[in-house]
């Protein structure tokens, strides 16, 4: 029982949000419940009409996917001194259309990030208050679908992990609930005919609230509902080939035989004018007939082209593209013919805390690091224009990283997308996910904050871009699915998967 008066804010009144409201209402009178959604659901209206007037339930209408809409309501005194913020926003679409893909992602990711960012300062510090974020087992399972549900949920987990690291010292805790399919009675978008009940998820959240308000040691937890889905995460991280088989992929050996038959006569490298992209271009230019490199800086592209022409007889084509501009990318896509190998290397980074970042900065980084690679990859693979795709990810995708929320979340999204699309197309197309730790890339050299942070916190001798490029090419030619650089980064993943409490103490400080 919750003995002292508490204020609980629930963002998103779908199945889970509605279940939490009903259960909180039934167990205590000492709670003020505030519910936010872009529409006033008929089932909530009906419920409130039957509810005892002694219970304090307030509904606020706002579109939480719109930053301006959220800003309009945060000035309200009703939102001061929040003890628990529960964010449940999300929906599932089965459309292959990119606009729908983006809409789904924006709702599931930014629909949670925007209100959380706006309301953090409304949560008193050092009072064992908390933020509870609803993710999904799909983020870990990465089913073989082309929608953005799994990437959005996996990105949300990375965001939650980063947020926990940043708020830990302020006494605000962040928890993640990962339910499996939910019997959906409230959604107008998509209804499951099987799954667990929303009440079961609500019960887990209620228990967490009750326990956490009494015990400050209950912090930063990650729950699966039902609990045995933790095993799915272990399979995905430790024994991915078992899940690959379940999703219909051929054995790794047979797929490698298929991949090795493909030639790399024509290679497209995004972000190929400097750093890792240029090192990859140097290698492939010596063995390919044509290499296309893209970049934002025309001068750097010209310099790279001149250098590559000196070391090879390969045809070098440069394309000036800003990958934060989807219209520019669409124009480029329409010009592309077949390529044997696509390397999604272009990306952006910004070192800021969640509270310092603005949503436009998040969107720009996601455009460069996630939406552009997805749009380019989907166009090539679904039009039979490529046989191989290499996606450059990051170890920050595994668990997030303090002051790197946009970068780590965008890489988490791309990681989930890569695994999902492999399970759909992997029998005929090679998808290589490259997960490097920090190395001496152009991004590293151009960012004082990243360089100083790495030098201060680590004694590891960082690899040069050339060494990373050589390992990537070797992995691609041998038909691999995944490459950790250095290999010890895989141990980092296994520790996070199997012994999270120890991992948390060692790395999430």
Dihedral over Cα of 61, 66, 69, 73: its sign: positive
Q: Provide the pLDDT for residue 212.
A: 62
User: What's the pLDDT score for residue 31?
Assistant: 82
Report pLDDT for 139: 85
- Options 3.40.50.720, 3.90.1150.10, 3.20.20.70, 3.40.50.10540; CATH for 240-441+460-489 is 3.40.50.720
pLDDT score of 95 more than 90 = no
Q: Phi and psi of 457, rounded to 5°?
A: -95, -5
Q: DSSP letter string over 36-62?
A: EESS--HHHHHHHHHS-TTSEEEEEE-
337 pLDDT exceeds 90?
no
Average pLDDT over the chain, rounded to an integer:
85
Of 167-176, 260-269, 413-422, which range is least confident? Answer: 167-176
Which part of the chain is CATH 3.40.50.720? 6-238, 240-441+460-489
Tell me which fold the domain 6-238 belongs to. Answer: Rossmann fold (3.40.50)
For residue 184, the SS3 value is: coil
pTM above 0.85, yes or no: yes
Handedness of CA 251, 495, 221, 418 (dihedral sign): negative
Least confident of 45-54, 174-183, 350-359: 45-54
Distance CA 123, CA 83 (A): 6
Residue with the larger pLDDT of the pair 345 and 74 = 345
More confident: 261 or 2: 261
Q: For position 459, what pLDDT does the model report?
A: 42
* Residues 197-208, mean pLDDT to the nearest whole number: 82
Q: What angle do CA 287, 291, 296 make, to 5 degrees?
A: 145
Reading phi first (left if > 0) and then psi (alpha if -120 to 50, else beta), residue 171 is in left
Whether 420 contacts 151, CB under 8 Å: yes
Q: Is the pLDDT of residue 199 over 90?
A: no
CA distance 162 to 176: 12
Higher per-residue pLDDT: 169 or 408: 408
- State the Cα torsion 364-366-369-371 to the nearest 10°: -110
Tell me: pLDDT of 476 over 50.
yes
Residue 364 in contact with residue 324, Cβ under 8 Å? yes
Residue 462 DSSP code: P
Q: How far apart are CA 432 and CA 421, in angstroms?
A: 11
User: Pairing relation of β-strands 31-37 and 56-61?
Assistant: parallel
User: Three-class SS of residue 159?
Assistant: helix
142: left (phi over 0), alpha (psi -120 to 50) or beta: left
- Residue pLDDT, tens place only, 363-385: 999 999 999 999 999 999 999 99
Q: Please check the confidence at residue 463 and state whether its pLDDT lies above 80.
A: yes
Percent of the chain surpassing pLDDT 90: 52
Lowest mean pLDDT among 83-87, 168-172, 414-418, 475-479: 168-172
DSSP state of 14: S
β pairing state of 266-269 and 222-225: unpaired
Lowest mean pLDDT among 64-78, 286-300, 369-383, 419-433: 64-78
Average pLDDT over residues 28-42: 85
Q: What is the rounded CA–CA span in Å between residue 120 and residue 173?
A: 11
Can you say how many angstroms the Cα of residue 400 is from the centroid of all Cα atoms in its chain?
9
% pLDDT > 70, the chain? 86
- Name the nearest CA neighbour of 131 among 92, 176, 162: 176
Using the 8-state DSSP alphabet, how is residue 134 labeled? E
């Amino acid at each position: 029982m919750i003995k002292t008066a508490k204020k609980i804010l629930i963002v998103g009144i779908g199945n889970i949000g509605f279940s939490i409201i009903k259960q909180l209402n039934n167990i205590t009178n000492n709670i003020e419940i505030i519910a936010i959604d872009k529409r006033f659901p008929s089932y909530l209206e009906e419920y409130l009409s039957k509810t005892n007037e002694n219970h304090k339930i307030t509904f606020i209408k706002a579109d939480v996917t719109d930053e301006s809409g959220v800003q309009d309501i945060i000035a309200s005194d009703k939102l001061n001194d929040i003890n628990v913020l529960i964010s449940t926003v999300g929906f599932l679409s089965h459309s292959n259309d990119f606009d729908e893909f983006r809409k789904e992602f924006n709702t599931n990711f930014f629909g949670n990030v925007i209100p959380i960012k706006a309301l953090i300062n409304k949560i008193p510090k050092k009072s064992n208050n908390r933020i509870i974020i609803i993710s999904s087992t799909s983020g870990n399972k990465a089913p073989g679908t082309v929608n953005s549900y799994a990437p959005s949920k996996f990105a949300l987990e990375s965001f939650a992990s980063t947020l926990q690291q940043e708020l830990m010292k302020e006494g605000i805790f962040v928890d993640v609930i990962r339910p499996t399919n939910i019997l959906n009675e409230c959604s107008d978008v998509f209804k499951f005919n099987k799954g667990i009940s929303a009440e079961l998820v609500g019960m887990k959240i209620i228990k967490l609230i009750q326990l956490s308000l009494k015990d400050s040691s209950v912090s930063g937890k990650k729950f699966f509902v039902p609990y045995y889905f933790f095993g799915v995460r272990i399979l995905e991280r430790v024994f991915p080939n078992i899940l690959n088989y379940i999703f219909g992929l051929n054995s790794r050996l047979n797929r490698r035989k298929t991949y090795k038959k493909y030639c790399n006569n024509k290679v497209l490298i995004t972000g190929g004018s400097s750093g890792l992209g240029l090192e990859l271009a140097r290698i492939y230019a010596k063995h390919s007939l044509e290499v296309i490199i893209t970049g934002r800086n025309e001068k750097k592209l010209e310099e790279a082209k001149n250098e590559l022409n000196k070391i090879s007889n390969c045809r070098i084509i440069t394309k000036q593209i800003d990958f934060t501009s989807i219209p520019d990318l669409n124009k480029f896509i329409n010009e592309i013919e077949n390529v044997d190998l696509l390397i999604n290397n272009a990306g952006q980074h910004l070192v800021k805390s969640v509270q310092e970042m603005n949503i436009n900065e998040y969107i720009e980084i996601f455009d460069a690091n996630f939406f552009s690679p997805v749009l380019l990859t989907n166009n090539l693979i679904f039009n039979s224009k490529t046989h191989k795709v290499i996606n450059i990810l990051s170890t920050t995708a595994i668990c997030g990283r303090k002051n790197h929320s946009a970068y780590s979340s965008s890489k988490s999204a791309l990681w989930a997308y890569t695994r999902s699309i492999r399970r759909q197309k992997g029998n005929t197309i090679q998808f290589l996910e490259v997960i490097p730790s920090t190395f001496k890339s152009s991004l590293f050299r151009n960012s004082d904050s990243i360089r100083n942070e790495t030098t201060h916190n680590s004694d590891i001798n960082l690899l040069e871009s050339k060494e990373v490029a050589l390992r990537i090419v070797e992995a691609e030619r041998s038909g691999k699915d995944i490459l950790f650089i250095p290999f010890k980064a895989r141990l980092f993943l296994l520790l996070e998967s199997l012994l999270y409490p120890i991992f948390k103490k060692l790395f999430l400080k």
